[in-house]
Structure 1
Amino acid sequence: MGIALGGLATLDPTVSANTATLDAVMIGVMAGSLAPDLDTVLKLRNNAQYIRNHRGITHSIPAVILWPLLIVLILSLLLPGANLLHLWMWTFAGVIIHVFVDIFNAYGTQALRPFTNKWIALGVINTFDYVIFSAHVLAILIWFIGAEPGPTFITLYVLLAFYYGLRFYMRHQIAKKLRKQFPDVIKLNISPTLRFTHWHLAVTTEKYFHVGRAIGEEIFIYDTFDKVPIPESAVIEVAKKDENLSAFLSFSPIYRWELDEYNDHIEVRFIDLRYRSKDYYPFVAVVQLDYDLNIICSYTGWIFSEKKLRKKLDYLPH
């Protein structure tokens, strides 16, 4: 998307008339379109820090203002002949479009920080959308074989605007069917998948959680769970203070919980209901405690089988 925006910037006479400005803008929009995701390095620390902070402060209103200024400052030293105003304008566009696009997937962003820490996730575009990716690759190839970049990328963005409208319409139709099927619905979580016509469904009603999938015009409900409140107990309260479970609860909007007692430990598990895959719920938080309520080990993240989860927990320090 940064390359496409750089091609669109050639429509700006100030950019196209000056080589230093053009070079700086091309670098600036690409850097700007990547900068908000620098928080991905938190993954190297641990999953809890990544889950709690990814698409948080780096996508906030102050960050959207500061990223372009920082990039322009660096590029002004490397390419002193560039027009700084136009460099800032296009770099700012790269940053803001990145954050804006992230709002449309199910993960979302905290784009309105510091005014609110609420996650904004419209849930119409998958985190990786092959239609959008392929359309950009095709447009860039057309540019490279000789087409004018301005008209090429204007056409691209007009077509993508229609595509976004189609995805909103598809999601709206699914929501309408779910509200008809579950008149007592309290909350709907509809998330896109890699498949164009497939959507994850997690429906909260007064007494139950219903989990399923929409495929085309059909609604399939695979699991129904009783909506059981989290008990007020010493075990749960200690578990909630764990970094991994705390991060999970700060991010997940719909989940169920389990508490199991074994010979030498207690296990508390929270399970996100939005990402059911092949009969398994891969996004979890698990805390194991001894009977003196000391935390033995904990984990949060995406694990796609119970066997792998057990291996992960056995590998962690006890």
Structure 2
Amino acid sequence: MDTGTHVVMGIALGGLATLDPAIGVDNPTAHAVMLGAIFGSQAPDLDTILKLRNNAKYIRNHRGITHSIPAIFIWSFLITGMITIFIPESNLLHLWLWTLLAIVLHVFVDIFNAYGTQALRPFTKKWIALGIINTFDPFIFVAHLVGIAIWLIGGHPGYTFLSVYIILIGYYIIRFSMQRRIIHRLHKLVPQIEQVIISPTMRFRRWHIAIMTDTSFHVARAVDGEIMFLDEFERIPVPQTDVIRAAEQDDNISAFLSFSPVYRWEVDEYTDHYEVRFIDLRYRSKGYYPFVAIVQLDQELNIVSSYTGWIFSEEKLRKKLELIPE
């Protein structure tokens, strides 16, 4: 989820914790647990700092090891330890348990996004992405804001957020059911489907769809229960030519390939250079595929320039990185 949603979820969990008899509503442990829930709800995303270095490091590592099973416990011990320095009279066990729950909840809800997490590391580095909830879901965010508002005007925080989470459990079930219905219809419409990747949007009844068969890629959109096919590409394996092998040594390309499950590729040869491009098919927007990786190589196959990330026009891509003109 996005940072704002994780913040309000931390506050909500701190409010829910008041139902714990060992915590109560207004005492040192309650204050400590609120801090633990807020910091715990943010801790796994500390790897966002990698974006300051470059997109390749961010794409390869975001929601990776910081969302792993060992990291969950490391975060909980670190945060609990820091809070007890300032609030030593708090109940250590209950502070740790609620802080741990905040971190677990962060990782758990991220699994439902299309981006996913490597939540089962160190047992597997597989990305778990259920594609049911958008990174920012207005309903989830507003539900938390309503709960916070009720708390501020005098409602009991524990019962308020218990009610909020019961509603949200129902919401997740509805979203899961919607996704299953779309996948079921796709299997009737497209023969020999190998994989369907659905990416939810901020709009409740709109979904991005990428379909992989043994011979082709299909890009579609589901709107109000109707499926619209937008593009179709022949599925051609990436050839292991000298140009491709040289391009795959670039950090931006390798990061993209480690992350994207469905993409097409292009190789263009110009007078003085080659250009290799990989295009993620999951995020079509206004006829454009904005998530790409591109590398340019000279005639000796030395990497001249490269980029991976979100870009919404060819002009901006070349202007931003000062790539060799076509």
Q: TM-score range by the shorter chain?
A: over 0.9
Q: CA deviation at 1:232?
A: 1.4
Q: TM-score, normalization: structure 1? A: 0.98
Q: Where does residue 289 of structure 1 map in the other structure?
A: 297
User: For residue 182 of structure 1, what is the amino acid of its counterpart?
Assistant: V
Distance 1:314 1:34 in 2: 35
Aligned residue among 212, 221, 227 for 1:219: 227
Aligned residue among 235, 241, 248 for 2:243: 235
Aligned residue among 71, 82, 91 for 2:90: 82
1:186 aligns with 2:191: no
Q: CA deviation at 1:305?
A: 1.2
Aligned residue among 100, 117, 120 for 1:112: 120
Q: TM-score, normalization: structure 2? A: 0.95
Written as runs of structure 1 = structure 2, the 5 A alignment for 1:260-279 is: 260-279=268-287
Aligned residues: 316
Distance 1:160 1:180 in 2: 31
Aligned residue among 27, 32, 36 for 2:40: 32
Q: Report the more deviating stretch, 42-51 or 300-309.
A: 300-309
Question: How much is the aligned-residue C-alpha RMSD, in angstroms?
Answer: 1.0
Runs of 4+ residues over 3 Å off in structure 1: none
Q: Where does residue 151 of structure 1 map in the other structure?
A: 159
Can you list the C-alpha shifts for 1:256-303, whole angstroms capped at 9, x where unaligned? Answer: 000001111100000000000000000000010001000000000000
Distance 2:151 2:112 in 1: 27
Distance 1:254 1:17 in 2: 49
Distance 1:277 1:250 in 2: 23
Can you list the C-alpha shifts for 1:46-102, whole angstroms capped at 9, x where unaligned? Answer: 000000000000000000111010001111111111110000000001000000000
1:162 aligns with 2:162: no
- SS in structure 2 opposite 1:292? coil
Distance 1:71 1:268 in 2: 45
1:10 aligns with 2:18: yes
Checking the alignment, whether the CA contact within 8 Å between 1:37 and 1:58 is kept in structure 2 is yes
- SS in structure 2 opposite 1:147? coil
Checking the alignment, whether the CA contact within 8 Å between 2:267 and 2:277 is kept in structure 1 is yes
Q: Where does residue 124 of structure 1 map in the other structure?
A: 132
Distance 1:85 1:69 in 2: 11
Distance 2:180 2:38 in 1: 33
Structure 2 regions of 5+ residues with no counterpart? 1-8
- SS in structure 2 opposite 1:312? helix
- SS in structure 2 opposite 1:13? coil
Distance 2:211 2:294 in 1: 23
Q: CA deviation at 1:115?
A: 0.7
Checking the alignment, whether the CA contact within 8 Å between 1:18 and 1:82 is kept in structure 2 is no
Distance 1:145 1:315 in 2: 56
- SS in structure 1 opposite 2:277? strand
Q: CA deviation at 1:312?
A: 2.2
Q: CA deviation at 1:17?
A: 6.9
- SS in structure 1 opposite 2:23? helix
1:56 aligns with 2:64: yes
1:203 aligns with 2:196: no
Checking the alignment, whether the CA contact within 8 Å between 2:305 and 2:323 is kept in structure 1 is no
User: For residue 207 of structure 1, what is the amino acid of its counterpart?
Assistant: T
Checking the alignment, whether the CA contact within 8 Å between 2:295 and 2:307 is kept in structure 1 is yes
Q: Where does residue 305 of structure 1 map in the other structure?
A: 313
Q: Where does residue 23 of structure 1 map in the other structure?
A: 31
Change (3 A) 1:17 1:254: closer
Distance 2:318 2:26 in 1: 59
Written as runs of structure 1 = structure 2, the 5 A alignment for 1:128-143 is: 128-143=136-151
User: For residue 287 of structure 1, what is the amino acid of its counterpart?
Assistant: V
Q: Where does residue 69 of structure 1 map in the other structure?
A: 77
